[in-house]
Structure 1
Amino acid sequence: MPKVLISDKMDPNAAAIFRARGVEVDEITGKTKDELIAIIGQYDGLAIRSATKVTKEVLDAATNLRVIGRAGIGVDNVDIPYASGKGVVVMNTPFGNSITTAEHAIALMFALARQLPEADASTQAGKWEKNRFMGVELYAKTLGLIGAGNIGSIVADRALGLKMKVIAYDPFLTPERAIEMGVEKVTLDDLLARADFITLHTPLTDQTRNILGRDNLAKTKKGVRIINCARGGLIDEAALKELLDSGHIAGAALDVFQTEPAHESPLFGTPGFISTPHLGASTTEAQVNVALQVAEQMADYLVTGGITNALNVPSLSAEEAPKLKPYMGLAEKLGSLVGQLAHDALTSVAIETEGAAAELNQKPITSAVLAGLMRVHSDTVNMVNAPFLAKERGLDVREVRHDREGDYHTLVRVTVKTQAGDRSVAGTLFGDQAPRLVELFGIKVEADLVGHMLYVVNEDAPGFIGRLGSLLGEAGVNIATFHLGRRQAGGEAILLLSVDDAVTPEMIARVRALAGVKTAMALKF
């Protein structure tokens, strides 16, 4: 009989579900890291919330562990790559607390508009400062959503009910989906200039970190009020403090902070600032929902092998997995590549297969492409929920099989449609196992998509490669592999370089300053 440890406090019905499904369960909470290491070896499953930290040391001791289930969305407390290497499935419950988080954002918006915390403190202190607290109405104000996915769409629905005008910035939001939601799709700069209130509903990724940094905060409309119930690190807290003090920003409410627990912050005590201790998912209903969901998902996996909402493996039968695994690895890398390179709003994605790839089940390949594509903007995407999220955002997904014989025995091509036109990448498998890029935006270039990479588009001219190599060498950047492609001599060339360490923004700026460079970007796989 499989055995599960519930190491964080959860609704008692979760344990009941495990037992009803034939899974033995222990509820042992509050253990230190060393105490958890001492007992984890006897369990097949580990059910957690945010308190338990599943580190390499814990995973090394978890010799029988098959699945980790997070009751909630965020999995920052789990070393997912290491768990994957250990063969441990990591699941979460990404939609169990969406309504609760959306409602908290709306509550903070009301609190900012009417200065409720300050008015409450003043009144309970025996004062009656009726004239001091002059608020603003939400009616007819413009709400700017940064992120229009599951939670953002719920906030939009509530805000429209309050007769607000809602505008939204989201790279994956299509015009059709925006119309369906009743919102106006805008650029980030347009949103910053127009919004009376701004709420953030995006995960923390390399692309979204400090999305409201100093420069973008300075672009906001004077008197704006900002709410963040998503992730700490989306806002530059020091810059926010300065603009609150100057009066440019009228108010800000944060439920999340760059460092948590936030025992201290430069924002604490600032007039117009409201804070809560990461309460976005803290309702009875949400905690019950995520606890029941994680118990059902884990029990299904342990008893029947069914996989739902897994962050590191797709839903596959035992027969399909060996054949499809290398193709899914190739597909995810191609999706990630085009997602990192195509910045415009995406309206459609086509996944084409030919040769041996066309004879396989296309759904896992498509799911892998979408997971790679959308993971650039979301830390909760996996091969199971990626198709759902793509549909939710109105992304048109097409699968095309070709019977024709091409230059390769097997080929997967991913084409996305953007406002700037189609962008296409293609790859194959060497030895039926090793993923290899063979075409990038119409240019033939062969490369392994691994680790940290530098992508450069430049004018094909003598001496450029030497100048680039010298620049990287002087900066101490070691080149692992070098791949070059071009359409024609003297035309446009593409460079893909694998490097040993992450390419810094400063280095990207220096590469872009080289003569002949049209584009330079850091990539990560």
Structure 2
Amino acid sequence: MAKVLVSDKLSPTAVQIFKDNGVEVDYLPDLGKDKDKLLEVIGQYDGLAIRSATKVTEKILAAATNLKVIGRAGIGVDNVDIPAATAKGIIVMNTPFGNSITTAEHAISLMLALARQIPEADASTRASKWEKNRFMGVEVTNKTLGLIGAGNIGSIVADRALGLKMKVVAYDPFLTPERAIDLGIEKVELDDLLARADFITLHTPLIDATRNILNAEAFKKMKDGVRVINCARGGLIDEAALKDALESGKVAGAALDVFLEEPAKENPLFNMPNVICTPHLGASTTEAQENVALQVAEQISAYLNTGEVINALNFPSISAEEAPKLTPFVKLAEMLGSFAGQLTETAIKGIRIEFEGDVAELNTKPMVAAALNGVLKPLLGDVNMVSAPVLAKDRGIAVETVNREQHGAYDNYIRLTVITERQERGVAGTVFSGGNPRIIQVKGINLEAELTPNMLYITNEDKPGFIGRLGTLLGTLDINIANFNLGRLEQGKDAIALLSIDSVLSDGQLDEIAALEGVVQAKSLRFNV
């Protein structure tokens, strides 16, 4: 019988789920705070169920000689050393969708509290001031809510706002028009949203593309008297710029559940009279905590009893028998997805993944998950191989797979095509001897290239002198070329250059390359190889 340790406080119902599934469970909710005691006993257990108090360090993992799975009741896994767990073959799971409704409701609650100045009015009344004329609020009915991010939580916020008779506009580069129609909202560009919204709420991950998405320039584009809500991630808003906008009156108020530095104890925004602050309460409801506890118990039990992997952060669902042959193709699929995802800048309508040759006879589900993970990670940030298919479905992305026998020159190959509002972009690859993945075609142009950590992708006009100009410029910019791969449709037509380089390109360097005569597009690509 498998044995699980619950080292943080979990619902009694979750403990019962383990027992009902034939899993022996030790419920020791304070053990996670005692590192020495945890280190002493962890070797007895096949599974570990935690919240945030237990710190699963490399030292703990080294002593976990029988541990097969760690389940985190919640989203964040900062308290788990995932690379060390992966090196030991320990599955790390979380419960990414258990608190979506709770977070969405908190955003709506903050919006309404902001509209009616409820916290300040409460404090004033308790101080026996009775300042009825001071707290003149605004209605949300018929107002425009600007939604930055229309994924799982954002779509729930949109639904609740529509119920309040608000008009909802959304900026999300990867929201398809069809999905927007299904949600009953209007898809717009960011500048349009900033100009039209009476309230703005953020529901997007914190990645390079979204960091400080509301900065000084963004505040200038907003309507006077706009109100801003953030229950997503600290760092999405430039806090200094927000303070300036509040002081000038450009922003009438802000409600913040997250901050750049947490725990937030000395934030200048705390002193602003028109700001509501809460201590990262987005997931803090009885129901949400119960949901994630039950989910993690079900997930750990399923893995220990049947090998089923749900919401894994560090491993696809591959059996021990499949692993040797399947693993290099999973790696190839993720790289193809990452290649396409880094080149995609508009809403994705569909993704088609074609398997040809012997690979089509394998279990392709892990490869599909890996490919989707590769496509979505550059766009969404917080994605893993298991959550990627769910996120794709939530965003209305149609995923098609095609399996067929070998027809071309390669024994095995995978082709991934991203379908956007503007175009279809395909990239194909294969696995050579030794398990090394290779790109063999991009946008219908044949070329063979190994993917390396830092790469430069260029589409250009096939004209004499271009390669020389490019090489000279890269030398001038002190960029060393490790490998130079070329392909073209035909003489004088579209061509591609895919270069392995020894350093990360700066924005300035990339701008100079993009301005070079003959360059149609230049992108800096990065791969985890």
Q: When the two structures are superposed, what TM-score results if normalisation uses the length of structure 2?
A: 0.91
Distance 1:198 1:152 in 2: 12
CA contact (8 A) 1:55 1:79 kept: yes
- Corresponding residue for residue 464 of structure 1: 469
Aligned pairs (5 A) from 1:244-263: 244-263=246-265
- Corresponding residue for residue 110 of structure 1: 112
Q: Which is worse superposed, 406-415 or 76-85?
A: 76-85
* Corresponding residue SS for 2:475: helix
- Corresponding residue for residue 8 of structure 1: 8
Q: Deviations over 1:31-75 (max 9, x none)?
A: 265665555444332322234444444434434332121111223
Distance 1:307 1:342 in 2: 29
- Corresponding residue for residue 371 of structure 2: 369
**Does 2:86 match 1:84?**
yes
CA contact (8 A) 1:309 1:385 kept: yes
Distance 1:96 1:49 in 2: 13
* Corresponding residue SS for 2:270: coil
Aligned pairs (5 A) from 1:226-245: 226-245=228-247
Q: CA deviation at 1:399?
A: 1.5
Distance 1:471 1:490 in 2: 27
Aligned pairs (5 A) from 1:18-33: 18-21=18-21, 22-27=23-28, 28-29=30-31, 31=33
* Corresponding residue SS for 1:496: strand
Evaluate the alpha carbon distance shift between residue 35 and residue 264 of structure 1 in structure 2; reply closer, same or farther with a 3 A threshold: farther
**Does 2:325 match 1:314?**
no
Distance 2:306 2:399 in 1: 30
**Does 2:176 match 1:171?**
no
* Corresponding residue SS for 1:463: helix
Evaluate the alpha carbon distance shift between residue 270 and residue 156 of structure 1 in structure 2; reply closer, same or farther with a 3 A threshold: same
* Corresponding residue SS for 2:389: helix
CA contact (8 A) 1:94 1:380 kept: no
Q: When the two structures are superposed, what TM-score results if normalisation uses the length of structure 1?
A: 0.92
Distance 1:479 1:19 in 2: 59
Distance 1:23 1:119 in 2: 52
Q: CA deviation at 1:491?
A: 5.0
CA contact (8 A) 1:168 1:184 kept: yes
- Corresponding residue for residue 394 of structure 2: 392
Aligned pairs (5 A) from 1:131-146: 131-146=133-148
- Corresponding residue for residue 218 of structure 2: 216
Distance 2:499 2:273 in 1: 49
RMSD: 2.5
Distance 1:291 1:101 in 2: 17
Distance 1:361 1:524 in 2: 28
Aligned pairs (5 A) from 1:121-132: 121-132=123-134
- Corresponding residue for residue 361 of structure 2: 359
Q: CA deviation at 1:450?
A: 3.7
Evaluate the alpha carbon distance shift between residue 479 and residue 262 of structure 1 in structure 2; reply closer, same or farther with a 3 A threshold: farther
Q: Which is worse superposed, 502-511 or 242-251?
A: 502-511
Distance 1:35 1:239 in 2: 47
CA contact (8 A) 1:55 1:78 kept: yes
* Corresponding residue SS for 2:222: coil
Distance 2:2 2:473 in 1: 56
Distance 1:499 1:245 in 2: 47
Q: CA deviation at 1:100?
A: 0.6
CA contact (8 A) 1:244 1:271 kept: no
Q: CA deviation at 1:283?
A: 0.4
Q: CA deviation at 1:164?
A: 0.3
**Does 2:349 match 1:344?**
no
- Corresponding residue for residue 290 of structure 1: 292
Evaluate the alpha carbon distance shift between residue 497 and residue 238 of structure 1 in structure 2; reply closer, same or farther with a 3 A threshold: farther
Distance 1:45 1:507 in 2: 49
Q: Which is worse superposed, 2-11 or 25-34?
A: 25-34
Q: Which is worse superposed, 154-163 or 300-309?
A: 300-309
Evaluate the alpha carbon distance shift between residue 233 and residue 304 of structure 1 in structure 2; reply closer, same or farther with a 3 A threshold: same
Q: CA deviation at 1:462?
A: 4.6
* Corresponding residue SS for 1:136: coil
- Corresponding residue for residue 417 of structure 1: 419
Evaluate the alpha carbon distance shift between residue 77 and residue 202 of structure 1 in structure 2; reply closer, same or farther with a 3 A threshold: farther
- Corresponding residue for residue 441 of structure 1: 443
Evaluate the alpha carbon distance shift between residue 326 and residue 156 of structure 1 in structure 2; reply closer, same or farther with a 3 A threshold: same
Q: Which is worse superposed, 8-17 or 414-423?
A: 8-17
Aligned pairs (5 A) from 1:13-52: 13-21=13-21, 22-27=23-28, 28-29=30-31, 31=33, 36-37=38-39, 39-52=41-54
Q: CA deviation at 1:163?
A: 0.2
- Corresponding residue for residue 67 of structure 2: 65
Over the matched positions of the two proteins, sequence identity in percent amounts to 63
Distance 1:498 1:10 in 2: 49
Evaluate the alpha carbon distance shift between residue 33 and residue 520 of structure 1 in structure 2; reply closer, same or farther with a 3 A threshold: farther
Distance 1:33 1:486 in 2: 59
Q: Deviations over 1:360-406 (max 9, x none)?
A: 33333222221221222334433333323222221122122333521
Q: CA deviation at 1:423?
A: 0.9
Q: Which is worse superposed, 221-230 or 342-351?
A: 221-230
CA contact (8 A) 1:207 1:376 kept: no
- Corresponding residue for residue 281 of structure 1: 283
- Corresponding residue for residue 160 of structure 1: 162
Evaluate the alpha carbon distance shift between residue 442 and residue 223 of structure 1 in structure 2; reply closer, same or farther with a 3 A threshold: farther
Amino acid at match of 2:155: S
Q: Which is worse superposed, 50-59 or 440-449?
A: 50-59
- Unmatched segments (≥5 aa) in structure 1: none
Distance 2:451 2:226 in 1: 42
CA contact (8 A) 2:459 2:521 kept: yes
* Corresponding residue SS for 1:357: helix
Distance 1:40 1:478 in 2: 48
Q: CA deviation at 1:138?
A: 0.4
Amino acid at match of 2:26: V
Amino acid at match of 2:3: K
Evaluate the alpha carbon distance shift between residue 402 and residue 277 of structure 1 in structure 2; reply closer, same or farther with a 3 A threshold: same
* Corresponding residue SS for 2:224: coil
Evaluate the alpha carbon distance shift between residue 87 and residue 340 of structure 1 in structure 2; reply closer, same or farther with a 3 A threshold: same
Q: Deviations over 1:412-451 (max 9, x none)?
A: 1111121221111111111272211111223323222342
* Corresponding residue SS for 2:440: strand
Distance 1:215 1:41 in 2: 54
Q: Deviations over 1:300-333 (max 9, x none)?
A: 2123212111122223444444432222211111
CA contact (8 A) 2:431 2:437 kept: yes
CA contact (8 A) 2:175 2:347 kept: yes
Q: Which is worse superposed, 36-45 or 343-352?
A: 36-45
Evaluate the alpha carbon distance shift between residue 344 and residue 144 of structure 1 in structure 2; reply closer, same or farther with a 3 A threshold: same
Distance 1:76 1:514 in 2: 43
Distance 2:497 2:38 in 1: 48
- Corresponding residue for residue 408 of structure 2: 406
CA contact (8 A) 2:406 2:412 kept: no
Distance 2:518 2:225 in 1: 43
* Corresponding residue SS for 1:414: strand
CA contact (8 A) 1:177 1:393 kept: yes
CA contact (8 A) 2:6 2:25 kept: no
CA contact (8 A) 1:454 1:520 kept: yes
